[in-house]
Structure 1
Amino acid sequence: MTRPLPYGRQFIDDDDIAAVVAALKSDCLTTGPAVTAFEAALAKVTEVADAVVCSSGTAALHLAALALDLGPGDAVIVPSVTFVATANAARYVGGEVVFADVDPATGLMGSEHLEEALRRCGGLVPKAVFPVHLNGQCVAMKALSEAARRHGLAVVEDACHALGSRQGEAATGACAWSDMAVFSFHPVKTVAMGEGGAVTTGDARLAERLRLLRSHGITRDPDGFLQPDEAFDAEGRPNPWYYEMASPGFNYRASDLSCALGTSQLAKLDRFMARRAQLVAAYDRALAPLAPRVVPVGRAADGVPSWHIQVVLIDFAACGTTRAKVMRGLAERGISTQVHYLPVHRQPYYRGRSPGLSLPGADAYYDRCLTLPLFYGMEDDEVERVVRELGRVLS
């Protein structure tokens, strides 16, 4: 009997379970040593000075926007093909989103898309760009960063799809061409910790600010105290109970349970990536007979991807069908699919803020994209099954 195939799912091994059990039996369920251990492991994987873990990828994006002091009147350039959280992070702090177009074959923004978006900023002050690595492939960061720096923009990589990928000699997350990079550890990601996120940075000042903001804005560091009469006793020693909040932050902490799972999962990242690459290669071979009406997502020119999802581009009109019919037909055969993503500029909230905006590359990518199953525990013959059933549904 064939098993149902989700478009993505976590892989949990016995050592993952043991790591969580050990955390449960420890003295700390949150803000303990497992958090510090995960941050150290992630910093090593991403080859960066600091990794700051938090409760989700969305929280990580919000923290990055806060750390940059973005606010009302500031423009943040965001590619339209992404999850809504990338754009929402700018709105959380009062900034305005200016959407950039993308390459219709890869879904990735380039420096030319950044330049075009900047010309549409009007009276806003461009402050930052949040390029998005999509499906496991990376934006050409060197060229994009050079363009961003010419305009005085901060750069925050949304790398939620790309843990383990490389851009030239640099690991994604090393921030070789950015101020910060943001990751997600949702269950469909390559590495899962239930819910969780992180920001990596090579800037110690930003790392300190991120840690402050993720925990209510509270500091217990005597060197940072602003009220000496409250903070210190008559001998000048810090009062043992004392902490300060100079400005509000958020409760975006990650638990030791999540971080214990995350650290165990990170140890398997190379194995996860290698198997996903094998499955993507199997898809490439199996899809070849369906070309040109069905093709794998375009390949980025540079870098080594860490595949997160398997996206194909389908000419639905040429096949005489619609995406909805294809998705329903595959679901009837036990194969779940998804769409990544409806361009964010077409969401009601943003359509109302940017009426009439046309981004032809984003629209062309969206019109054809479909996400097929891809996960570590998938078998080669299941790839063949997915493509075989796809062909049947299309015909």
Structure 2
Amino acid sequence: MKTKVIPYGRQHITEEDIEAVSKALTEDYLTQGPKIAEFEKAFAAYVGADYAIAVSNGTAALHLCALALGVQPGDKVITSPITFAASANCIRYCGGEVVFADIEPDTYLLDINSVEDLLKKAPKGTYKGIVPVDFAGRAVNMEAFRELADAHGLWIIEDSCHAPGGYFMDSKGMPQNCGNGAFADLAIFSFHPVKHIASGEGGMITTNNPELYENLMQLRTHGILKDENRYVNSIEFAGGIDKYPSWYMEMQQLGFNYRITDFQCALGLSQLKRAAQGLEKRKDIAKKYFTAFEGLPFIKGQSGVVDGHAYHLYVIEVHDRLGLYEYLREQGVFAQIHYIPCHLMPYYRAFGWKEGDLPYSENYYRHCISLPMYPTLSDEDQEYVIGKILKHAKGTDN
């Protein structure tokens, strides 16, 4: 009998998605066309931000944010080690120095007290910014980070790749959507296939700052400007008339080709239409996991049921992580580990980071495992996953 194959994440492509992409492929534009602006407008409305800039992927979004905020060689920026490496690497792309702060052991999010300790121990101006991460879909309290950042003159990039549709409750009891620009200078999202909204590859930057928005639009396309009202140079034509022909443009700064295609945005738009339903399904799956594992001795911790959690991942912490991981794979359940702490990667070890520097992050890594979590996960398959975990814990499965 063939063993089930249940991945930790999976894209969901519908007939409507296929139709949307097929239609885009028959239009006049494959790239730099109308679907990009349409997707940007719809996504900005979804998270509640003033502006959105679609780019080629989440890493490009992070890099552009670092560029737009003026990260220079030697600038120190604080982030979490429990994240995909791109959250830190974007600072290194600009020559900045990454400083990792520890996580809260209960939420797995960047610990604001750990960040504050770093800031208090350094002369004012030592640090330039903070990159908090809405890890696994749980929203960072960006209001608290904004207050801390303002007190020290720092900017904030919110890495919301895991959390479209997520939110936290502010000090007035109001929900604040991840990436809405109310507290972070810039926020970024990813449309990788295992994310809430999939476009193959792709990313989005959101902001409420018009100056940053305009700069990002340039940086996305080689630093080139096509706006006759803002050109710096002029060209003299026959007859002594200064005029800008339709082909004229100016490269005003060193930018990149981080554009996204129209057919990717068509797919993103189609997926965005059912994002709310997908999020509700993720919450239902999380509730079932939490109920199944609540109070069991082999569970050290789990994502749990949390208001505003977007549940890109459902994480449990167990004593025998390696044993469970290998056993589940034997049973066709391809759970995953998120993440090896960035500061223990060989690249960052070369800067002096070592085991013992961030004990909560390292302890989390020793025990964490991400369970299957995607909207098309069936009740039957989730029960299969839960059953195998319980049997492994009891040592009764042969």
TM-score computed with the length of structure 1 as normaliser: 0.93
- Alignment correspondent of 1:351: 349
CA deviations on 1:294-331 (whole Å, 9 max, x unpaired) are 5423666xx51111011111122xxxxxx333222111
Could you tell me which runs of 5 or more consecutive residues in structure 1 were left unpaired when the two chains were aligned: 317-322
CA distance in structure 1 between the aligned counterparts of 2:124 and 2:116, rounded to whole angstroms: 16
Whether the 8 Å CA contact 2:286–2:304 is kept in 1: the answer is: no
1:54 is aligned to 2:55: yes
Separation in 1 of the partners of 2:122 and 2:221? 34
Q: 1:215 to 1:167 in 2, by over 3 A?
A: same
CA contact (8 A) 2:4 2:331 kept: no
Distance 1:294 1:233 in 2: 80
The size of the alignment, in residue pairs, is 387
Mapped contact 1:51–1:200 kept (Cα < 8 A): yes
Alpha-carbon distance between aligned partners in 2 of 1:231 and 1:108, rounded to the nearest angstrom: 59
1:181-208, Cα deviation, whole Å (9 max, x unpaired): 1000100001101000010000011011
**1:81 matched to which residue of 2?**
82
Distance 1:277 1:72 in 2: 42
In 1, Cα distance between equivalents of 2:295 and 2:331:
21
Equivalent of residue 210 in structure 2, options 201, 204, 209: 204
Q: What one-letter code is carried by the residue in structure 1 that aligns with 2:5?
A: P
Aligned position for 2:109? 108
Determine the C-alpha separation between the residues in 1 that align with 2:365 and 2:41.
38
More displaced, 108-117 or 36-45?
108-117
1:43, CA displacement in angstroms?
Answer: 0.6
The aligned residue for residue 341 of structure 1 is: 339
Conserved? CA contact 1:105–1:298, under 8 Å? no
CA distance in 2, matches of 1:354, 1:362: 17
* Residue identity matched to 1:27: D
Q: State the alpha-carbon separation in 2 of the partners of residues 345 and 355 from structure 1.
A: 6
Q: CA deviation at 1:16?
A: 0.5
Letter in 2 for 1:5: I
Q: Deviations over 1:275-312 (max 9, x none)?
A: 11001111111223634535423666xx5111101111
Q: Percent identity?
A: 40
| AA aligned opposite 2:328 | L
Determine the structure 2 residue equivalent to 1:181: 187
Asked whether the equivalents of residues 128 and 155 of structure 1 are also in contact (C-alpha less than 8 Å), the reply is yes
Query: Cα–Cα, structure 1 residues 163 and 234, in superposed 2: closer, same or farther, change >3 Å?
Result: farther
Structure 2 equivalent of residue 372 of structure 1: 371
- Asked whether 1:65 is paired with 2:96, we answer no
Q: Which of 301, 306, 311 lines up with 1:307 in the alignment?
A: 311
SS at match of 1:223: coil
Does the CA-based 8 Å contact 1:114-1:144 persist in structure 2? no
Unaligned runs of 5+ in 2: 170-174
The 8 Å contact of residues 54 and 205 in structure 2, kept in 1 or not, is answered as yes
Structure 2 vs 1, CA of residues 99 and 24 (structure 1 numbering), >3 Å: closer, same or farther? same
Shift of 1:230: 6.3
AA paired with 2:67? L
* AA aligned opposite 1:367: R
Q: Distance in 1 between matches of 2:128 and 2:238?
A: 39
For residue 229 of structure 1, give the secondary structure of its aligned residue in structure 2. Answer: coil
Distance 2:298 2:289 in 1: 15
What amino acid maps onto 1:333 in structure 2? Q
Q: Look up the equivalent residue of 1:312 and give its one-letter code.
A: I
**Aligned in 2, Cα 1:120/1:365: closer, same or farther, shift over 3 Å?**
farther
TM-superposed CA distance for 1:58, in Å, is 0.3
Q: In structure 1, what is the equivalent of residue 172 of structure 2?
A: none
Instruction: Say whether the 8 Å CA contact 2:102–2:358 is kept in structure 1.
Output: yes
Q: Please tell me whether the aligned partners of residues 232 and 238 of structure 1 are also in contact (alpha carbons under 8 angstroms).
A: no
Work out whether residues 231 and 239 of structure 1, in 8 Å CA contact, stay in contact via their aligned partners in 2.
Answer: no
Cα 1:172/1:123, change in 2 over 3 Å:
closer
Q: Distance in 2 between matches of 1:93 and 1:296?
A: 36
C-alpha displacement of 1:338: 0.7
Aligned AA (2:252): A
